[in-house]
């Protein structure tokens, strides 16, 4: 039995995304299906790339970062470079989120202070 192939509708159904999204990722150079006339034929590598894109999006990675990870996909090497890069990006993303959390907490304190001042000013006028 040969290497499995997928149509665009197969991938869309299996990964629960739209065919339009798949075509967009193709336009971005992130997928490279073969063509048989007008039909796109996707390989297992394309399916893995789509999974990486979807996972990367869930983790907050940019499309450029997802493309970088796809370009590093090399199963024959055990994907070590790709995995190291993912770990580094996870660390960066975690640091960004921690900073955003601190910024949100600071903003909440500012809102609390402003709210208290408004209540105090209102109480003073009654």
Handedness of CA 7, 9, 12, 14 (dihedral sign): negative
Backbone dihedral angles phi then psi of residue 34, each to the nearest 5 degrees: -75, 160
**pLDDT at site 1:** 66
Closest CA relative to residue 56, chosen from 72, 69, 42: 69
* SS3 (DSSP) at 18: coil
**In this structure, what DSSP letter does residue 94 have?**
H
pTM over 0.85: no
Query: Bridge-partner residues for 42, per DSSP?
Result: 6
The answer to whether the beta carbons of residues 121 and 113 sit under 8 Å apart is no
What does the H/E/C string look like for 18-60?
CHHHHHHHHHCCCCCCEEECCEEEECHHHHHHHHHHHHHHHCC
Q: Where are the domains of the chain?
A: 1-61, 72-126
Taking the CA atoms of residue 24, residue 29, residue 30 and residue 31 in that order, the dihedral angle to the nearest 10 degrees is 80
**pLDDT at site 75:** 78
pLDDT along the chain (126 residues), means of 10: 87 96 94 91 92 93 91 83 92 96 98 97 90
Give helix 19-27 / helix 8-15 axis angle, nearest 10°. Answer: 110
Q: Which fold has domain 1-61?
A: Multidrug-efflux Transporter Regulator; Chain: A; Domain 2 (1.10.1660)
Closest CA relative to residue 41, chosen from 91, 12, 7: 7
């Amino acid at each position: 039995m040969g290497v499995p192939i997928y149509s665009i509708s197969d991938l869309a159904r299996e990964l629960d995304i739209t065919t339009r999204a798949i075509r967009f990722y193709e336009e971005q150079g992130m997928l490279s299906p073969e063509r048989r006339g007008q039909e796109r034929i996707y390989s297992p590598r394309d399916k893995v790339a789509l999974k990486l894109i979807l996972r990367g999006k869930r983790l907050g990675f940019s499309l450029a970062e997802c493309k970088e990870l796809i370009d590093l996909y090399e199963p024959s090497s055990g994907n070590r470079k790709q995995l190291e890069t993912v770990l580094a990006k996870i660390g960066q993303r975690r640091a960004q989120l921690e900073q955003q959390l601190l910024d949100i907490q600071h903003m909440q304190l500012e809102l609390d202070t402003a709210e208290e001042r408004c209540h105090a000013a209102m109480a003073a006028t009654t």
